[in-house]
Amino acid sequence: MEVEKISGLKFHKKQDVAIVGAGMTTFKRRLNETGRELSYLAIKQALEEAGITIDDVEMVVMGSAPDTFDGLHMKSEYLLDGSGGSDRPYMRVFVGGGTGVFAPIAGYWHVASGLADVCLVITEEKMSSSYPHPQSAFKYIWDPILDRPLSPNLIWIFALEMRRYMHVHNIKHEDIALVSVKNKANALDHPCAQVAEKITVEDVLNSEPMALPVRRLDVSPPSDGAAALIMVAPHIARQLTDNPVWVTGVGWALDTTWWTNRDLYFPRYVAEAAKMAYRMAHITDPRKEIDVAEPYDPFDYKELHHMEGLGLAKKGEAPILTREGVTQRDGDLPTCPSGGLLGVGNPIAATMGVKACEIYWQLAYRAGKRQVAKEVTTGVCQAWGDLMQVGTVMVMSNKR
């Protein structure tokens, strides 16, 4: 089956887009704060880092995943006042789990189109509101007629995809478990982390089975949290900082609803999204030109899967790179230096804090203890969502 190419893009934007500040809350299984209070706390941090006040913000982009978590229909409206949306143009974008990177992409077009010079991007998730378990909310992502009568659990799709990936490339679970080990250890340096710990491959392989091949420690935990990002036009960035981080490429793609009609071993939706972003960023050889990466890692195999989709590894090569230590924080291609979703937590949309925000901090050399060893100029972050359908990719650089 042939996938048609994205055509006609000239990228004749009005102005460049810089990131000048980011902030996030701690990610925890359950927080007392309401969603809007969490948003407020994250925004405060981002405004402080950028050195601006809420009055300087012209437009707000909200990213938040299913309404069924927070338990609110139209939840962007509910979150509005704590999200800085009061008395401003305010819009929520939503591509399922991919929202974590899609929200800053939407922030990008708010600024690049010239409609806003200062745009606040806020992502929030309060998964703990959903009882008996946050996973219960995922019952309703399935097709109501063809899938829901089979009483599916969300983990199923991952297990099915993971099995296919392992089968096609003949990958052992041991190699996949290394990702979980790496990310949970990386997260020890993240003050917001929920499940940072030193574990071994054996711990992963012996953890409780959920939907085999997926076991407990292959999975990131549900969390509450929020993250914010400030995106500005060049003339504003110049006033605020000497070294802003530029958004050089964005891309997103949504694959067919009929996920059972596709071969799941390769995330072509990520590949298409990456192709768009790389073309915009003039990247021809991502493996060489990308210095640090934050692929989406809600499950350990997903990091590998997405590295291949992003062109950071050849098909089936990501587990080998991981085994050789290339993806460690001091490796040649540091991957998920933040600790990712596996270590820091997975408040669906608010994972922007460990994806887009982390790449910003890495490229601005502000990541503190998490700063990668090598010199960095270009980084990529990516998220994924829906029924294994969405790829969202953003490329950033500290050189314009």
Partner 1 sequence: MVAIVGVGYSGFNSTTPDLSWKEIMYEAALRAYTDAGINPRRDVDSFVTCAEDIYEGFAIFDEFVPDQLGAVVKPTCTVCADFLYGVATAYMQIKSGLADIAVVESHSKASDIQTFGNVVKFAMDPIWLRNIGNAHPYYLAALEMFQYMAQRCLSEEDVARVVVKNKNNALLNPSAPYAANVTIDDVMASPKLFDPMKKMEIAPLADGCVVFVLASDEVARELTDSPVWVKGVGWWSETYGYDTASFSAMYTYKAAKMAYRMAGIENPAKEVDFAEVDDRFAFKELQHLETLQLAGKFEVARLMAEGYFDKDGSLPVNVSGGNLGVGNLLECTGGQKALEVVLQLRGEAGRRQLSDVEIGVAQAWRYLPTHSGAVAVFGV
Partner 2 sequence: MIEKIVNPKELRHWDGKIELYWVYTSGKAGDEFFKKLKEEDKFLAAKCKKCGKVYFPPRIYCEKDFSETEFVEVSGEGCVRAFTVARLDAYEKPLDNPEIYALIDIDGTDGCLIHLLGEVEPENVEVGMKVKPVLKPKDEREGRITDILYFKPL
Partner 3 sequence: MAVGKKDIECPPYAEGTPLSDEDIKEGKVTYVEDHPDIRYSWTAGQAISKFLNGLKEGKILGVKCNKCGRVMVPPRMFCELCYKPIDGWVELKDTGTVETFSISYIDPDAKPLPEPVIVAVISIDGASPHMGIMHILDEVKPEDVYIGMKVKAVWKGEEEREGAITDIKYWKPVEG
Asked if 115 contacts 72 with a C-beta cutoff of 8 angstroms, the reply is no
User: Residue 43, interface with partner 2 (CB under 8 A)?
Assistant: yes
Q: Taking contact as CB under 8 A, which single stretch among the options 11-19, 48-56, 286-294, 320-328 is the one that binds partner 2?
A: 48-56
Using DSSP, state whether 239 is helix, strand or coil.
helix
User: Residue 208, interface with partner 1 (CB under 8 A)?
Assistant: no
Asked if 271 contacts 53 with a C-beta cutoff of 8 angstroms, the reply is no
Q: In angstroms, what is the minimal distance from the CB of 84 to partner 1?
A: 10
Cα distance between residue 363 and residue 74, in whole Å: 35
Q: Which of 119, 233, 264, 313 binds partner 3 (CB under 8 A)?
A: 264
Sites for partner 1 among residues 39-68 (CB under 8 A): 65-68
HSE of 45, CA atoms in CB hemisphere, 13 A: 18
Q: Which of 16, 37, 317, 386 binds partner 2 (CB under 8 A)?
A: 37
Q: Pick the closer one to partner 3 by CB: 8 or 12.
A: 8
Sites for partner 2 among residues 144-183 (CB under 8 A): 144-145, 148
Size of the site for partner 1 (CB under 8 A): 74
3-state secondary structure 165-190: HHHHHCCCHHHHHHHHHHHHHHHHHC
Q: Say which amino acid occupies 97.
A: G
Structure tokens at 257: 């609803």
User: Per-residue string for binding with partner 2, 111-140, x by CB under 8 A?
Assistant: -----------------xxxxx---xx--x
Sites for partner 3 among residues 172-191 (CB under 8 A): 191
User: Residue 211, interface with partner 3 (CB under 8 A)?
Assistant: yes
Task: Say which entry of partner 3, partner 1, partner 2, none residue 78 contacts (CB below 5 to 8 A, set by partner kind).
Answer: partner 1
Burial class (CB in 10 A: 0-12, 13-18, 19+), 67: middle
Task: Say which entry of partner 3, partner 2, partner 1, none residue 368 contacts (CB below 5 to 8 A, set by partner kind).
Answer: partner 3
User: Per-residue string for binding with partner 1, 104-123, x by CB under 8 A?
Assistant: --x-xxxxxxxx--------
Q: Which of 40, 269, 296, 360 binds partner 1 (CB under 8 A)?
A: 269
Asked if 19 contacts 359 with a C-beta cutoff of 8 angstroms, the reply is no
User: Residue 72, interface with partner 1 (CB under 8 A)?
Assistant: yes
User: Per-residue string for binding with partner 2, 51-80, x by CB under 8 A?
Assistant: --xxx------------x--x---------
User: Per-residue string for binding with partner 1, 127-166, x by CB under 8 A?
Assistant: ----------xxxxx-xx----------------------
Task: Say which entry of partner 1, partner 3, partner 2, none residue 206 contacts (CB below 5 to 8 A, set by partner kind).
Answer: none
Structure tokens at 377: 């100029």
Q: Under 8 Å CB-to-CB from 144, ≥6 apart: which residues?
A: none
Is the dihedral angle over the CA atoms 346, 349, 352, 355 positive or is it negative?
positive
User: Residue 133, interface with partner 3 (CB under 8 A)?
Assistant: yes
Peptide bond into 149 cis (omega under 30): no
User: Residue 5, interface with partner 3 (CB under 8 A)?
Assistant: no
Structure tokens at 172: 């052992």
Q: Which of 17, 18, 22, 292 binds partner 3 (CB under 8 A)?
A: 22
Cα distance between residue 256 and residue 169, in whole Å: 24
Cα distance between residue 184 and residue 273, in whole Å: 27
Using DSSP, state whether 368 is helix, strand or coil.
helix
Q: Taking contact as CB under 8 A, which single stretch among the options 48-56, 234-242, 323-331, 386-394 is the one that binds partner 1?
A: 386-394
User: Residue 281, interface with partner 1 (CB under 8 A)?
Assistant: no
Q: Taking contact as CB under 8 A, which single stretch among the options 42-50, 180-188, 271-279, 366-374 is the one that binds partner 1?
A: 271-279
Question: Which DSSP string corresponds to 40-56?
Answer: HHHHHHHHHHHT--GGG
Cα distance between residue 250 and residue 235, in whole Å: 21
Q: Pick the closer one to partner 1 by CB: 82 or 334.
A: 82
Peptide bond into 334 cis (omega under 30): no
- Other CB atoms within a 10 A radius of the CB of residue 234 amount to 15
Sites for partner 1 among residues 214-253 (CB under 8 A): 250-253
Residues that bind partner 2 (CB under 8 A): 30-34, 36-37, 40, 43-44, 47, 53-55, 68, 71, 81-82, 84, 86-87, 128-132, 136-137, 140, 144-145, 148
